[in-house]
Structure 1
Amino acid sequence: MARRAVEQELSRERIMDAARHLFITKGYRGISMRSIGQHLGYSHGSLYYHFKEKAELFYAIVVQDFNHLNQLCTQVAKSPPMDGLTKIEQLMLEFIKFGLEHPHQYEIMFMLRDEEILAYCRSEQAKCFEIFESIVRKFLRQERHPMEDNSAFPLSMFLGVHGFISFYIQDRLTYEEVMPAAIAHVKMLSPSNYRLTS
């Protein structure tokens, strides 16, 4: 009965929200299951009902954040086109918007360098890139674009977008504050700059 009450009061989502905040502010090595429990006002034993170790908790957070970003990218592919933007430009802008509106999540997903946890992020980063690449290739095929068969092109765009986010995220600028620069950047990275001339 007591275990069931703990499960109802202390949900996985609540633990993950608190742990995400602590991972960001104190670093992965700087916190323990005990410190997460103290932050929530529960014994650390209560956390083990949901997560058997800190690494499992961290991975659950990483997966949740990547799933959110992947859903946003997939929605771009299904949404109607916006005036003045190609679908690929919309995709890149959505990626930038996510990074700047969720800087702490983005840092956990793409910018942590702790060897102990890097493997958790790498597998999800690869899945995220696969989704990004598949959307880019889909629209290049639809447009019969000359860069359609260039295997390095989607990665170059992905890295260009990541570089933009990494630069502006340091100053905690919002997406709205850098939107003109973001639009100019994706226009520069856009496949429309690589049309063959007749």
Structure 2
Amino acid sequence: MSMARRAVEQELSRDRIMDAARHLFITKGYRGISMRSIGQHLGYSHGSLYYHFKEKAELFYAIVVQDFNHLAQLCEQVTRRPPSEGMTKAEQLMLEFIKFGLDHPHQYEIMFMLRDEEILTYCRAEQSKCFDMFDTIIRQFLKEEKHPLENNPSLPLSMFLGIHGFISFYIQDRLTFEEIMPAAVAHVKMLSQSNYRLLTS
């Protein structure tokens, strides 16, 4: 490896490229961005980006995987934490999901809200993995709380859609989780209580 290439790789890291590209994909759209424009945004030639990514599609997919992995790690942390006073583990999980969406709006929009058919293929598999993880954790929590799912097997999906709708509404105004935490807590309480009633009806 040449000294020039090594210097570029050390200065222009994968994470720096991904952070810049994530913002550009959201603000200008996938089709409106090229490796050249990402390089210009960073102040480097587009050739510098190819040290890390072979093409725009590879860069976009790396962003998608990184963001879904981050969310998965946060959700898994909930499973290891003791229950919070006044909240069930299922409510804690939904609240963590909302917090991620509102505190990382660019990531969440790329993961769940872009509608360009060209890039949906990069997101759908990761979206499915994410929901499967959410579904598994919720089912485990409900089992621990003695709430059988036989009467309402679609309950995890209802919860998932409920928190996604909440995030999608508030993310437009770029409100942080801290700014609307009381509303978020009330929302997950409403979701869990209404769905728990369905389980026992």
**Aligned residues between the structures:** 197
CA distance in 2 between counterparts of 1:52 and 1:195 reads 50
Q: Deviations over 1:57-100 (max 9, x none)?
A: 00101111111111111101110110100000000001011111
Unaligned regions of 5+ residues in structure 1, if any? none
CA distance in 2 between counterparts of 1:150 and 1:92 reads 18
CA separation of 1:180/1:49 partners in 2, compared to 1, >3 Å: closer, same or farther? same
Name the counterpart of 1:196: 200
Name the counterpart of 1:47: 49
Unaligned regions of 5+ residues in structure 2, if any? none
**TM-score (norm: length of structure 1):** 0.94
Residue pairs, 1:106-145, within 5 angstroms: 106-145=108-147
CA distance in 2 between counterparts of 1:121 and 1:69 reads 14
Letter in 2 for 1:166: S
CA distance in 1 between counterparts of 2:11 and 2:188 reads 45
- Structure 1 position 148, deviation (Å): 5.6
Name the counterpart of 2:178: 176
Answer whether contact 2:151 2:198 (CA < 8 A) is retained: no
CA separation of 1:37/1:143 partners in 2, compared to 1, >3 Å: closer, same or farther? same
CA distance in 1 between counterparts of 2:19 and 2:161 reads 28
Answer whether contact 1:73 1:95 (CA < 8 A) is retained: yes
- Structure 1 position 195, deviation (Å): 5.2
Name the counterpart of 2:91: 89
- Structure 1 position 55, deviation (Å): 0.7
**TM-score (norm: length of structure 2):** 0.92
What is the aligned-residue identity percentage? 80
1:33 aligned to which of 4, 14, 35: 35
- Structure 1 position 26, deviation (Å): 1.3
Name the counterpart of 1:5: 7
CA distance in 1 between counterparts of 2:6 and 2:188 reads 50
| Secondary structure in 2 matching 1:107 | helix
- Structure 1 position 150, deviation (Å): 3.5
CA distance in 2 between counterparts of 1:97 and 1:193 reads 25
| Secondary structure in 2 matching 1:145 | coil
Q: Deviations over 1:11-51 (max 9, x none)?
A: 11111111111112211111100011111121111111111
CA distance in 1 between counterparts of 2:183 and 2:114 reads 25
Moved more, 93-102 or 146-155: 146-155
1:61 aligned to which of 60, 63, 66: 63
Answer whether contact 2:35 2:46 (CA < 8 A) is retained: yes
| Secondary structure in 2 matching 1:147 | coil
